[in-house]
Amino acid sequence: MSDYSIRSVPQQSRSQERVDSILGTAADLFTEVGYEAATTNAIAERAGISIGTLYRYFADKDAILRALAARYHREEQALFDQVFTDDVGYLPLPVLLDRLIDPFLDLYCGCPVYAHILLGTDVSADIAAASQEIEQEVIERLADIMQKVAPQIDARQARLTAVICKSAVKSLISLRSSSNDEDFRVQITSEIKQMLLAYLEKVLDETESQERHRTPRGKARTGRRR
Amino acid sequence: MSDYSIRSVPQQSRSQERVDSILGTAADLFTEVGYEAATTNAIAERAGISIGTLYRYFADKDAILRALAARYHREEQALFDQVFTDDVGYLPLPVLLDRLIDPFLDLYCGCPVYAHILLGTDVSADIAAASQEIEQEVIERLADIMQKVAPQIDARQARLTAVICKSAVKSLISLRSSSNDEDFRVQITSEIKQMLLAYLEKVLDETESQERHRTPRGKARTGRRR
DNA sequence: CTCCGAATTGAGTAATCGCTCATATTTTCC
DNA sequence: GGAAAATATGAGCGATTACTCAATTCGGAG
């Protein structure tokens, strides 16, 4: 340790550990008692550090939640990148739904605080705004997928359908975190998927028949754009 | 029942007016800035009374929200009583959906704080528990209606379907209160109804065919475990 | 008008929370 | 070893909040 080889790697890696530890503890406390009720002193104590140290790494309490929201955003984007492959438009609907839903369920299951952020339960205005931005992004991603699945669909309907799908999954997350009964979770998951399947089949059916019967008036019936 | 922790029994008609005034102001403030951020002093000031007077009528801050939740519960029950008529089982599904959904949308639109209570956004544990109780009641009411619409359905599936319907309407409330764009609200309302319609048609279709084929067990589409 | 209880008032209290900073400890590097 | 820099500590500060209570006003009966 007396070599002057690397500048401050030990410091950095230790710092990162500290940050992660704080984030993990905070996430646990937030989900247990809510954001407001989770005091910074309690977070520090449970993380095994002093309150002063906590404030060396985070400017204020909100910054902790912001960091968690950022991590959530990152992981969610990674999931989407994984899902959004070339063949996404050619998958049977039930398979597509599983592909779209299951990884996200795992995400929220593995880190329940993400559900809090998503559902906007008991968060500051800043976080709520950030969360809404993330959701907007999700809607656009889903709309893109809709366009791949049904190229004949118009952009407006694709967005609308995306909003509905996102909402349904949000409901599913909410329902799943409202109960500890694993059986109920399985049933409700299957049921929401059934609902989405029925809805999507109906939407696709209607846009397809619109296409077949020739566009009723003029042009620009089929969405393009993008 | 009937203990909202109101301190003073209305000896004068003036008292009831006061209580209503406090409740109305509190409801406004709660929806504007949230429950935590709405201080009792601010409620009193806006209601044009002193903080002392407020505490003559309500034991503590939570009692105000509890009174609002009780009012919400009462109005919701009244709506259900109105909807749950004898012919409810014979209505075409789209009509039934309108009958079930539209009055509730009006309720939440007329008093947005009800949406806060329903969605559990930023409320105390007590209120969240009370809200969950109300929701449980809603599920049972909906399950009853499901049994009337489709007598061949089994109780378990009826409850499951009720949970889904309640969730979907909850989503709709959430979506509608997330935007001020009236056009969006109309579209999203129609779309959620479409989704529910597709889902209910599917559920009824499956239970009917189950009935016809006399297969109480076995080739059910919804995977049965246990 | 006088008197008295009920209603109202709002400055003040106790408790809590986010956050600071002077001090103490550890690490780095010669 | 030892100076200096980096990091950690936690008592305590200031601000905020729900809530109290002694003082004051109101209203109506005699």
Rounded to a whole number of angstroms, the distance from the CA of A169 to the nearest CA of chain B is 10
Of all helices (H) and strands (E), which one includes residue B9? none
Cα–Cα distance between A161 and A202 in angstroms, integer?
11
Task: For residue B86, give the DSSP letter.
Answer: G
Is B160 within 8 Å of A192 when comparing Cβ atoms?
Answer: no
Average per-residue pLDDT in chain A? 88
The DSSP code sequence of B156-176 is HHHHHHHHHHHHHHHHHHHHH
- A221: closest CA among A152, A165, A130, A127? A152
Cβ <8 Å between A175 and B195: no
Q: How many residues does chain A have?
A: 226
What whole-number distance in Å separates Cα of residue B159 and Cα of residue A194?
15
CB B162 within 8 A of CB B139: yes
Distance CA A110, CA A116 (A): 13
Q: What pLDDT is recorded for position B121?
A: 82
Q: Give kind and range of the element (H or E) at residue B218.
A: none
Q: How confident is the model at residue B2 (pLDDT cuts 50, 70, 90)?
A: very low
B58 forms bridges with which residues in the sheet?
B6
SS3 B8: coil
Better-scored residue on pLDDT, A211 or A52:
A52
Q: How wide is the angle at C-alpha A70 spanned by C-alphas A112 and A175, nearest 5°?
A: 25
pLDDT in tens, B145-156: 999 999 999 999
Nucleotide nearest to B52 (CA to C1'): C9
3-state secondary structure of A40: helix
What mean pLDDT is predicted for residues A135-156? Answer: 95
- The pLDDT, as a whole number, for residue B12 is 54
Chain B residues in contact with A202 by the CB 8 A cut-off are 194, 198
Angle A207-A213-A217 from CA coordinates, rounded to 5°: 90
Amino acid A217: pLDDT = 45
Answer yes or no: is pLDDT of A9 > 80. Answer: no
How far is residue B158 CA from its own chain's centroid?
19
The answer, yes or no, to whether residue A223 has pLDDT greater than 90, is no
Q: Which residues are bridge partners to B6 per DSSP?
A: B58
Q: Across the interface, which of B121, B168, B187 has its CB nearest the CB of A160? A: B187
Count other C-beta atoms under 10 Å from residue A215's C-beta: 11
The pTM of this model reads 0.87
A201 contacts in chain B (CB < 8 Å)? 198
Confidence of residue A124 (pLDDT cuts 50, 70, 90): confident
Rounded to a whole number of angstroms, the distance from the CA of A221 to the nearest CA of chain B is: 18
* Predicted local confidence at residue B210, as pLDDT: 66
Give the pLDDT band (50/70/90) at residue B58.
very high
pLDDT tops 70 at residue B5: no
Q: Is residue B61 over pLDDT 60? A: yes
Q: Which two tokens stand for residue B53?
A: 């007077």
Alpha helix locations (H) across chain A?
Answer: 9-33, 40-47, 51-57, 61-83, 93-110, 113-119, 125-149, 155-177, 182-212
DSSP helix/strand/coil, B4? coil
Please give the protein residue whose CA is closest to the C1' of the nucleotide C7. B53
Lowest-confidence pick of A42-56, A81-95, A171-185: A81-95
DSSP letters for B174-190: HHHHT---HHHHHHHHH
pLDDT for res B220: 42
Do A187 and B160 make contact, defined as CB atoms within 8 angstroms? Answer: yes
Q: What residues form DSSP beta bridges with B16?
A: none
Does the pLDDT at position A66 exceed 50?
yes
Joined together, the tokens standing for residue B200 give 């209910």
Q: Could you tell me which residues come within 8 angstroms of residue B215 by beta carbon, excluding any fewer than 6 positions away?
A: none
The predicted model gives A121-127 an average pLDDT of 83
Mean pLDDT of A52-65: 97
Euclidean distance between CA atoms B221 and B164, whole angstroms: 17
pLDDT in tens, B154-204: 999 999 999 999 999 999 999 999 999 999 999 999 999 999 999 999 999
- CA A54 centroid distance within chain: 27
Q: Collect all residues with Cβ–Cβ distance below 8 Å to A111 and sequence separation of at least 6.
A: A27, A72
CA distance B217 to B224: 9
Token pair listed for B179: 């935007």
> Chain B window 109-128: which residues touch A at a Cβ cutoff of 8 Å?
120-122
Which one of A120, A132, A171 has the shortest CB-CB distance to B170? Answer: A171
pLDDT tens string A97-110: 999 999 999 999 99
Tens of pLDDT along A23-42?
999 999 999 999 999 999 99
Q: CB A139: neighbour CB atoms within 10 A?
A: 20
Q: Does A164 touch chain B (CB under 8 A)?
A: yes
Least confident piece of the model among A12-16, A22-26, B37-41 = A12-16
- Grouping H, G, I as helix, E, B as strand and the rest as coil, residue A191 is helix
Predicted local confidence at residue A7, as pLDDT: 36
End-to-end CA distance of chain B, in Å?
39
Whole-angstrom distance, CA of residue B24 vs CA of residue B44: 11
pLDDT over 70 at A149, yes or no: yes
* pLDDT over 80 at B63, yes or no: yes
Does B211 have pLDDT greater than 70?
Answer: no
pLDDT reported for residue B13: 61
> Which pLDDT value is given to residue B18?
86
Q: What chain B residue is nearest to A163 in terms of C-alpha separation? A: B188
pLDDT of residue A225: 39
Q: Which residue of A has its CA nearest to B33?
A: A125
Write out pLDDT tens, residues B98-114: 999 999 999 999 999 99
Contacts of B220 (CB under 8 A, 6+ apart): B206, B210
